[in-house]
Structure 1
């Protein structure tokens, strides 16, 4: 999920809504602001130790002591959720969880229950959430925070009228400059030994548990030096000036006993059922993490040169102290070294003038550039897609290969037909493969919002084995379930060629979207600055 300024304003329809919004914004501007940030002693990650099972597993994986890390791709959603549950249950010292969205749904509540149980076992739990999607969740989060070993903190929090989404919109309008910056990072670290990084938020639709729309995503299991780097990033955010303990911003009139009882009910099996177990092996033939951890001496992952980095949390203050050290800049620098190919997978893709200049330079050097993104009909942020459309013809003229993910095409492809069933399928993975040697992954989209407004977390991996695994798992050398976008014979317009079945239909207009929808989005896009998308 990638909430833009445009999608926020789309929620406020009609003149009456606008008048109410503006009036309330003026009222809220005079309401209480953020409380003073307490000068607490910094709390730091607990390093990996052989005293824990996960520490011993990481030590075994890192036995060569060659400065490399061990990695394992988490491609299938069921294996990704299962890996988190296994790590939570096996943790003995600490769990550090950072995410943009924790769903108030069966997946989010299941993970909260598991974190609560870990805290009661004596595991130190730190949960760091961006505050944009926590509306109505304060009792749940406070319930977790009542545990003596658990802490919950919020990034760039809302202060007034926290219980309802509508009133939060009003505060957003009244304090737009601050609240428009969000923490988009996703990171999970267990016992300082094993970490998960990638694009998935912690909600039903990221683990194929939604009956409405599900996301196709990617994450990486990691052990070794890259985990220590990731833990240091978490500490920087946890102790930053833009992060607040939930107790300092949430209004609470319940006793700890009541909070715990309500938490118990809300996270019971009725509201947080167990997921279906993963299969015996994923698309690469690897068994679930729990089975791997039963026999540590046989544990084997890919060895790779891997490094983690993140934007400064002060980006939320509108301060880019070291823009050359941003995740976006690191990606551009790595892509500029490409000798043969750059393959970008991004659900939201707006190259902009600078991006087009980079593409032009790469093509001049003979680098093949390929982009996979969402189609207009299947993007959860269609205004982003409308802006991407402005660059399509120019990219195709430069020889860029363009592919757009489509639910209808995916359902014709054997790989996703059974998984999606009646739900929509949308791309959410953020990946780049460079020269089939480097992989960039994490939370960053290739759009202005990721580059300029939101904070992001990324991992850079040098591994031929990992790139080959991704090429195989996603069928990137013979991709299906997408539309291939090409120039029409006139060289000035585009058409779409299906890849989901033997018919390979050819379309001259945006697949699965009406002319009225396209016209409305185009009109609205004229009033939304591109740097807000």
Structure 2
């Protein structure tokens, strides 16, 4: 029989004190911001159950283990800077994000079958390189089709790399290994459960979704590579979701982002020594040397020329532990402050922190039309419970909150007629403060109007949420779930 050591009350108190010290050092010295309710939950957990709370905190509670340096970029001053809102482009430049450029082409896909055709066509177009990053690679028809095409391109001499998140694809990460490895596809799992802790924390997940062909064409959005995002099942239709394809600098920026994730998957000691924006510049110069088409053929822009204003101006907005700041949270909060006409939001999970929620409600109170589109019941029960208080506050402030009768997985934001976002990030603490995420920012009127119309059309299908107070039991449950909202 194993005998556990017995600690005196003084020794137990010393252990609790040491655990709280670890929490303070980790969160304060490393400046890991978290809302008061989350901080209180960790402190109480460590104090009440120190022998369990401390290991759990060290595994799941930390955010940016090594706080990276993100060098500020010069404020956009080029020919195209006049076509984007300065509050957004200057903020992103200050946070180390590569600047926006006009793309050669941009197309959105609303329907699953359309998105699958676009994805397959892009992968099969690769002649030199093909990089794929996904949170989920399904053990199903779509996953098998993707694996088959990746193997096909690898056998044709294309360098193919596949990066799959270890938690997102926990049940299916190795389902296609035999086929992929035999064909010569390079595969990596991002942060597997059992790994060297110096590589980062298990709680940090790569939620980015993108496919880059030849550093020139990119497919991205909110869709993972599994049946429910494209074709559904015999009993369920595919989820409502969004994706897009683009040719131009968006692909170069996605390539630079993927390169950082690919290196990080091998460990912090192999992390890129140059920042994201600098990698983008290097890859852009290489692409231009090779004669690739990166920009729109439009002439020099003019603020008064509608032809130039229609150029598909866009940039990637990556966010996560690989940046010094919480880029997307900063952009969304700033968007809520600067919006004057409309703020349209679509997300499957809505558990914002206090700062973002206050910015959204204040926008609604000052007369901005705030429209929030959510599924009535998402595929995760806990975030649905945690969102209750935030949804009621939004409705009380005058925002329109619409609940769809089917699962929606799309993530999109439209700010006035100046900016639209589409990509992988949900409006919750996990996406905005913990995960590796990426959204494409579009500044062209065609792309902004398309995303706005998509949100408006589906909002008309939903039922309005109410601010009706819940029962005391439901309110208590919401509070308890919200206290761990960072982990949802």
The TM-score, its normalising length taken from structure 2, stands at 0.65
Cα displacement (A) at 1:328: 2.7
Cα displacement (A) at 1:356: 2.5
Are the equivalent residues in 2 in contact too, given 1:96–1:190 (CA < 8 A)?
Answer: yes
Which whole-Å CA distance do the structure 2 matches of 1:111 and 1:96 have between them?
12
Q: Secondary structure at the match of 1:72?
A: strand
Which whole-Å CA distance do the structure 1 matches of 2:332 and 2:182 have between them?
40
Q: Secondary structure at the match of 2:398?
A: coil
- Give the helix-richer structure, 1 or 2: 2
Are the equivalent residues in 2 in contact too, given 1:199–1:443 (CA < 8 A)?
Answer: yes
Q: Secondary structure at the match of 1:206?
A: helix
Are the equivalent residues in 2 in contact too, given 1:441–1:459 (CA < 8 A)?
Answer: yes
CA RMSD, aligned part only? 3.2
Aligned positions of 1:406-425 closer than 5 A: 406=405, 425=406
1:460 to 420, 441, 459: 441
Query: Is 2:486 the counterpart of 1:526?
Result: no
Are the equivalent residues in 2 in contact too, given 1:242–1:313 (CA < 8 A)?
Answer: no
2:144 to 109, 116, 132: 109
Which whole-Å CA distance do the structure 2 matches of 1:331 and 1:394 have between them?
18
Corresponding residue for 2:398?
399
Residues 128/362 of structure 1: CA separation in 2 closer, same or farther (3 Å cut): same
Are the equivalent residues in 1 in contact too, given 2:351–2:427 (CA < 8 A)?
Answer: yes
Per-residue deviation, residues 382-437 of structure 1 (Å, max 9, x unmatched): 2112121112332222111110111xxxxxxxxxxxxxxxxxx3010000011033
Cα displacement (A) at 1:336: 2.8
Corresponding residue for 2:408?
427
* Unaligned stretches of 5+ residues in structure 1: 1-21, 30-65, 161-170, 245-296, 315-320, 407-424, 488-492, 495-508, 510-514
Are the equivalent residues in 1 in contact too, given 2:106–2:245 (CA < 8 A)?
Answer: yes
Which whole-Å CA distance do the structure 2 matches of 1:524 and 1:371 have between them?
20
Cα displacement (A) at 1:304: 1.4
Which whole-Å CA distance do the structure 2 matches of 1:473 and 1:357 have between them?
26
Are the equivalent residues in 2 in contact too, given 1:331–1:440 (CA < 8 A)?
Answer: no
Are the equivalent residues in 2 in contact too, given 1:195–1:222 (CA < 8 A)?
Answer: yes
Corresponding residue for 1:436?
417
Which whole-Å CA distance do the structure 1 matches of 2:233 and 2:394 have between them?
35
Which whole-Å CA distance do the structure 2 matches of 1:526 and 1:212 have between them?
34
Cα displacement (A) at 1:371: 0.5
The TM-score, its normalising length taken from structure 1, stands at 0.60
Residues 110/243 of structure 1: CA separation in 2 closer, same or farther (3 Å cut): farther
Corresponding residue for 2:186?
151
Aligned positions of 1:75-474 closer than 5 A: 75-132=110-167, 133-135=169-171, 137-138=173-174, 140-148=176-184, 150-159=185-194, 178-213=201-236, 214-240=238-264, 303-312=311-320, 314=322, 322-324=324-326, 326-375=327-376, 378-406=377-405, 425-474=406-455
* Unaligned stretches of 5+ residues in structure 2: 1-51, 60-99, 269-296, 298-309
Aligned residues: 348
Per-residue deviation, residues 356-381 of structure 1 (Å, max 9, x unmatched): 32023323543221111121xx2111
Which whole-Å CA distance do the structure 1 matches of 2:212 and 2:321 have between them?
18
